[in-house]
Amino acid sequence: MLKILRFSVLLFLLGCNSTSNVVNNDEQEIDPKEYDYTIVFGSCNDQENPQPLWQPILANNPDAFIWGGDNIYADTPDMEKMKEMYDFQNNVEEYQQLVNSTVMLGTWDDHDFGSNNAGKEWDKKAESQQLFLDFMNVPEDDSRRDREGVYYSQDLNADGKTIKVILLDTRYFRDPINEGREGTILGEAQWSWLENELNNSTADYNIIMSSIQVLSRQHRFEKWANFPEEREHLLDLIVSSEIKNPIIISGDRHISEFSKMDIDGLEAPLYDFTSSGMTHAYENFNGEPNMYREGEVIFQLSFGVLNFDFENEEVNMQMRGVENALLQETSVKF
């Protein structure tokens, strides 16, 4: 197993408390032929804030875009108001350019689910699910319209290779977080579905989108580690299913970071690439532990990029920001 890493870090960010400090990047123009396939993803998009990242996202010529959750900030039991917020987002011109030019996928997190930090107890979850599916342009006859939860998978095909994107729903079935640290994140039906998806995957790459972080476990915010048995089960399943070239992507935190874990049974390290937020960031970030962190924490507006090099079986992962500035990157060769 050979792993190649390279970092281009803006070290001044370590002492920066403002999302406005961005260094122009001389390599903003992306060669669309440099990589075989490009996926862009992002999370934490408050529709009432300025949205400066859509043009940089378009500049990366994405073949697919993945919403990582908090795609709008609704936090309301009023479904008419939530619909108006989705409509507002859909009318953002540069966002519509993206919708009309690439494959759009996504899951939700708490704020578009409808209530901050909510789980299965949220009594408007069925209604908000339908509005989310409307926003994602899911057909009325799609199976997601008739089942609980927005979990979903889709195969992306290019040049004889397949990238399987698995979108988890960490809200609809999640038990309340408690001191006993018991309960479930995904619920029985979604776990059964996920096991089937992984055990039967023949894809060349498997991208698992979780709105909340999977690997990082030492911070005080929402994470899979709040339910340690669920986290262990997910990691065990990634190994036992023998899926090819897995990568986890996540959001929620208003920071961006790479977490990496060496796991017996995997030929390459497992990455959890967190990218957040798109309209507001954790400006007062002053450090937190993460035993799996690789590189530095980025706490300014950013989005994530996955560039696939099929010939070399390598995925280049980039954090990019305003004016398409390259903030940090790493690559893994499987």
Structure tokens at 106: 């996504």
- The H or E element spanning position 166 is strand 161-167
pLDDT at site 13: 39
* Contact criterion met (CB below 8 Å) for 161 and 334: no
3-state secondary structure of 85: helix
pLDDT at site 34: 85
- For the chain (334 residues), the mean pLDDT of every run of 10, in chain order, is 41 36 42 82 98 98 98 98 98 98 98 97 98 98 97 97 98 89 94 98 98 96 96 98 98 98 97 98 94 98 98 97 98 96
Q: In the chain, at which residue ranges do the beta strands (DSSP E only) sit?
A: 37-42, 64-67, 103-106, 152-158, 161-167, 205-210, 246-250, 256-261, 270-274, 293-298, 303-309, 314-320, 326-333
List alpha helices for 91-186, DSSP H.
Answer: 93-99, 110-113, 125-135
CA angle at 139 for the pair 194 and 61, rounded to the nearest 5°: 75
Rounded Cα distance, 326 and 24, in Å = 9
Rounded Cα distance, 322 and 59, in Å = 11
CA-wise closest residue to 95 among 29, 44, 51: 51
pLDDT at site 178: 83
3-state secondary structure of 38: strand
Rounded Cα distance, 222 and 230, in Å = 14
Question: Sign of the C-alpha dihedral, residues 138, 324, 321, 226?
Answer: positive
Half-sphere exposure (CA, 13 Å, Cβ side) for 165? 25
CA-wise closest residue to 104 among 146, 137, 148: 137
Residues composing the chain: 334
CA-wise closest residue to 334 among 231, 217, 207, 249: 207
Rounded Cα distance, 176 and 314, in Å = 39
- The H or E element spanning position 117 is none
pLDDT at site 20: 33
CA-wise closest residue to 204 among 261, 158, 271: 158
pLDDT at site 179: 66
Structure tokens at 103: 């494959």
Please tell me what DSSP assigns to residue 14: G
